[in-house]
């Protein structure tokens, strides 16, 4: 249950600004941008991180992570209020025409989880069993949604360590060429740039993206909680105002909400 559409500008701006600040700091310190490009350091850090992640997770999880990263650039956290409006309507409709009147609403529901919940309501499922079924599915969806974030966090743990490995290899190169001063610079450059790569990719890319994915997973889980409580409220026969009162705790404090009216 996420809002999708246009690119999330905050994510794009944040990633772009991070790279720009790093490059600006290099130039401001009197360095050159070319000094930050070290193919051997990139191979060690980026290639090594990728290999470590491939060893850590099955291919299906990695494919899902790549797909989810694309969604993260367009997905937005969805507030719970639209669902409150929807369940107020469902409760009013059920009060006037009975729970079976929600059957047509089931196929029109915009989300598979909501369709499942309405289907259980229309079928007259026991509220306790309905809650159990929906909570199990919700937990499974949340675990699946958080796994890509876990992959990114794992990669963020590997990257700085591999940066240190690159630094050590660079220093070994320096030690091997102590008698050739003209070749010392290359080894020292690899040593320092590898560390920069590892720390930068972990803290400016991987961890922020993981945090964003966890936020989206949390938002979707909250929306599913609204659906679960709303479905149980419908089965309990609560009137629309009580359903609204029961669900409004899911709305963030300070959110402005329009007054609700029964359907004529």
- pLDDT of residue 160 exceeding 90, the answer is yes
Angle at which helices 81-97 and 207-235 pack, to 10 degrees?
A: 20
Q: Each residue of 3-35: b (16+ CB within 10 Å) or e?
A: eeeeebeebeeeeeeeeeeeeeebeeeeeeeee
- Containing H/E element for 157? helix 127-176
- pLDDT of residue 203 exceeding 90, the answer is yes
| Residue 152: strand, helix, or coil | helix
| Average pLDDT for 162-181 | 81
| Average pLDDT for 209-231 | 92
pLDDT for the residue numbered 48: 95
| Average pLDDT for 255-260 | 55
| Average pLDDT for 145-167 | 94
- pLDDT of residue 189 exceeding 90, the answer is no
For residue 14, how far is the Cα from the chain centroid?
15
| Spans of all domains in the chain | 9-82+123-250
- pLDDT of residue 27 exceeding 70, the answer is yes
pLDDT for the residue numbered 37: 85
- pLDDT of residue 60 exceeding 50, the answer is yes
Taking residue 140's Cβ as centre, other Cβ atoms within 10 Å add up to 10
Mean model confidence pLDDT for the chain: 85
- pLDDT of residue 261 exceeding 60, the answer is no
| Average pLDDT for 164-171 | 87
pLDDT for the residue numbered 263: 45
| Average pLDDT for 149-173 | 92
Give the predicted TM-score (pTM) of the model. Answer: 0.81
| Average pLDDT for 179-208 | 82
pLDDT band at 79 (very low <50, low <70, confident <90, very high): low
- Distance, in Å, from the CA atom of 58 to the CA atom of 118, rounded to the nearest integer, reads 35
- pLDDT of residue 254 exceeding 90, the answer is no
What percentage of the chain carries pLDDT values higher than 90? 48
**CB neighbour list of residue 231: distance below 8 Å, 6 or more residues apart:** 117, 118, 120, 121, 130, 131, 134
Is the model more confident about 178 or about 138?
138
- Distance, in Å, from the CA atom of 109 to the CA atom of 116, rounded to the nearest integer, reads 9
pLDDT for the residue numbered 231: 95
- Span of 15-24, 95-104, 147-156 with lowest mean pLDDT: 15-24
| Average pLDDT for 205-218 | 91
pLDDT for the residue numbered 39: 87
| Average pLDDT for 40-58 | 94
pLDDT for the residue numbered 259: 52
């Amino acid at each position: 249950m996420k809002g999708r559409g246009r690119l999330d500008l905050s994510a794009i701006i944040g990633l772009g600004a991070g790279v720009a600040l790093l490059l600006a700091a290099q130039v401001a310190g009197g360095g050159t941008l070319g000094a930050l490009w070290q193919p051997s350091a990139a191979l060690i850090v980026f290639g090594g991180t990728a290999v470590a992640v491939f060893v850590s997770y099955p291919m299906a999880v990695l494919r899902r992570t790549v797909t989810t990263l694309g969604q993260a650039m367009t997905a937005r956290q969805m507030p719970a209020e639209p669902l409150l409006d929807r369940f107020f309507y469902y409760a009013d409709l059920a009060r006037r025409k009975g729970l079976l009147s929600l059957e047509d609403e089931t196929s029109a529901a915009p989300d598979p989880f909501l369709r499942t919940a309405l289907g259980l309501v229309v079928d007259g499922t026991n509220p306790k069993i309905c809650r159990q079924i929906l909570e199990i599915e919700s937990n499974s969806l949340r675990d699946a949604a958080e796994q890509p974030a876990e992959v990114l966090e794992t990669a963020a743990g590997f990257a700085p360590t591999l940066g240190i490995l690159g630094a050590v290899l660079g220093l070994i190169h320096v030690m091997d060429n102590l008698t050739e001063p003209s070749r010392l610079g290359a080894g020292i450059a690899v040593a320092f740039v590898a560390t920069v790569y590892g720390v930068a990719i972990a803290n400016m890319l991987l961890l922020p993206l993981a945090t964003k994915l966890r936020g989206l997973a949390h938002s979707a889980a909250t929306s599913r909680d609204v659906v679960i409580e709303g479905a149980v409220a419908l089965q309990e026969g609560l009137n629309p105002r009580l359903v609204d009162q029961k669900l409004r705790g899911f709305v963030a404090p300070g959110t402005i909400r329009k007054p609700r009216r029964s359907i004529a």
